[in-house]
Amino acid sequence: MASFLDHLTEESKSYMEILSNSTRKPYNEVSVEEARQMSIINTRKFGGNIDYDGERHEIIIDQTYKTEPIPVWVYKPNNCPENATIFVYFHGGGWTVGCRETHDDSCKIISSDAGCIVLNVEYRLAPEHKYPACFDDAEVAVKWALANKPQLARFSDHDFSKSIQPIQMQGFQARWTPIWCTL
């Protein structure tokens, strides 16, 4: 009987072997802060280094749900077309671990390969911020993207207020179940 491992690349198989032979504790056996640090360390160790042909800028989205604004990294590839899609990305980590840094390379790849502008949102995490904080942040970020296409134009040679681009949203949460919708 074939295993799911039979369909993986050699690189992925090697990574899975390293993880299975690792002496690190699973996230459910460490504190939340330790799990977050492990996530960042694993990203640095296994994530590689993406040569991104584009720019990354930070913007801050103000909102009414909390006193601190929402930090967002905006990625604009050099091959960005005039009618580029704006892709709002919410990192994985079960709403508890993960951050913009752990998904930086993923956003660079999406931006470069799809030729789109990516917004990598640093939403509030549990358990410090109770449900529905992460969803409130996601809603604010998507609404901000819809309302502020001209502000995103400052990262591009194009005037997004004069063209229609789809806004897409994607996240990987709750056991890596992908959530996406096009608005």
State the DSSP string of 120-166: EE----TTTS-TTHHHHHHHHHHHHHHH-HHHHGGGSSS-GGGS---
Q: Give me the pLDDT at residue 64, please.
A: 67
pLDDT tens, 77-119?
A: 998 887 788 889 998 888 899 999 999 999 999 999 999 899 9
Question: Are 136 and 143 a contacting pair, CB within 8 Å?
Answer: no
Peptide bond between residue 132 and the one before it cis (omega within 30 degrees of 0): yes
Which comes out higher in pLDDT, residue 107 or 154? 107
pLDDT tens, 30-45?
A: 999 999 999 998 888 8
Q: Give me the pLDDT at residue 179, please.
A: 44
Q: Is residue 176 packed enough to be buried (19+ CB in 10 Å), middle (13-18) or exposed (0-12)?
A: exposed
Tell whether the model's pLDDT for residue 183 goes beyond 50.
Answer: no
- Distance CA(34)–CA(146), nearest Å, equals 36
Q: Is residue 143 packed enough to be buried (19+ CB in 10 Å), middle (13-18) or exposed (0-12)?
A: middle
Using 50, 70 and 90 to split pLDDT, how confident is the model at 56? very high
Query: Looking at residues 8-32, what average pLDDT do you find?
Result: 84
Distances (CA, A) of 54 to 116, 154, 156, 164: 11, 14, 10, 22
Q: Give me the pLDDT at residue 8, please.
A: 83
Cα 77–Cα 43–Cα 36 angle in degrees, nearest 5? 115
Q: Please, what is the average pLDDT of the chain?
A: 80
End-to-end CA distance of the chain: 42
Which two three-digit tokens encode residue 43? 């990203």
- Distance CA(71)–CA(33), nearest Å, equals 20
Tell whether the model's pLDDT for residue 182 goes beyond 50.
Answer: no
Of 111-120, 147-156, 162-171, the least confident: 162-171
Which two three-digit tokens encode residue 67? 């006193």
pTM, rounded to two decimals: 0.79
